[in-house]
């Protein structure tokens, strides 16, 4: 009798695990489908607007002097108060690093995070991939992630929390910027801003 209950319990656990994996796979397909609807060039679709920002990355030396260590550019695609994509490109002078981070949202909640870190070699125009991460989220819960990591970086629980925190900060800052911009330039489909980051 106990053996039957153990076998039945084991079958129920395996079935629940398979159903959960199937639901996550369907959610990933749904997320990719939602993201494919967002145009990369908003001029092809009047339903979307964008904000472009670019600027410098500075670092304080000895707490007194600022030294430029790189540049940053961002693009935000939105409609009214719904943010769909925030893409940031950070280029650092040291080691010729280039970091591209893209946050994709649905109902202002993170659904997909992409990160790519490359280093440009001095000798030619090729670049070396250090990190590439593609992570899917559902209500701040990591569904699945795919990664290619060629350094000591680990996409663990603390990194997942950091990513969802950064996504929330990006949304908050963007919505605040939109609120201010709509007071001064309502209905403007494309906005360009200057940005400065201090490390």
Task: Express each pLDDT in 31-72 by its tens digit.
Answer: 998 898 888 777 777 788 888 888 888 888 877 788 888 888
CA–CA gap between residue 85 and residue 171 (Å, rounded): 10
Per-chain mean pLDDT for the chain: 81
And the tokens for 152? 């000591």
Q: How much is the pTM?
A: 0.80
The alpha carbon of residue 153 and the mean position of all alpha carbons in its chain are separated, in whole angstroms, by 17
Quick one: 19 exposed, middle or buried, by C-beta within 10 A (0-12, 13-18, 19+)? exposed
CA–CA gap between residue 197 and residue 137 (Å, rounded): 27
Check pLDDT > 60 for residue 171: yes
And the tokens for 119? 């280093």
Check pLDDT > 70 for residue 196: no
Instruction: Spell out the domain ranges in the chain.
Output: 38-198
What pLDDT sits at residue 193? 59
């Amino acid at each position: 009798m106990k053996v039957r209950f153990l076998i039945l319990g084991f079958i129920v656990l395996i079935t629940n695990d398979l159903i959960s994996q199937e639901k996550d796979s369907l959610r990933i397909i749904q997320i990719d489908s939602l993201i494919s609807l967002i145009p990369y060039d908003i001029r092809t679709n009047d339903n979307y607007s964008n904000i472009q920002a670019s600027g410098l990355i500075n670092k304080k030396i000895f707490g007194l002097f600022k030294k430029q260590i790189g540049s940053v550019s961002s693009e935000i695609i939105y409609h009214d108060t719904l943010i769909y994509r925030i893409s940031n490109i950070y280029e650092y002078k040291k080691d010729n690093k280039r970091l591209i981070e893209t946050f994709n949202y649905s109902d202002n909640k993170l659904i997909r995070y992409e990160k790519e870190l490359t280093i440009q070699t001095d000798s030619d125009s090729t670049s070396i991939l250090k990190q590439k991460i593609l992570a899917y989220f559902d209500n701040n819960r990591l569904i699945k992630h795919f990664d290619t990591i060629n350094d000591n970086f680990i996409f663990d629980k603390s990194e997942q929390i950091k990513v969802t925190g950064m996504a929330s900060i990006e949304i908050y800052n963007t919505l605040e910027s939109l609120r201010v911009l709509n007071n001064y330039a309502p209905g403007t489909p494309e906005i360009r801003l200057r940005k400065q980051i201090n490390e």
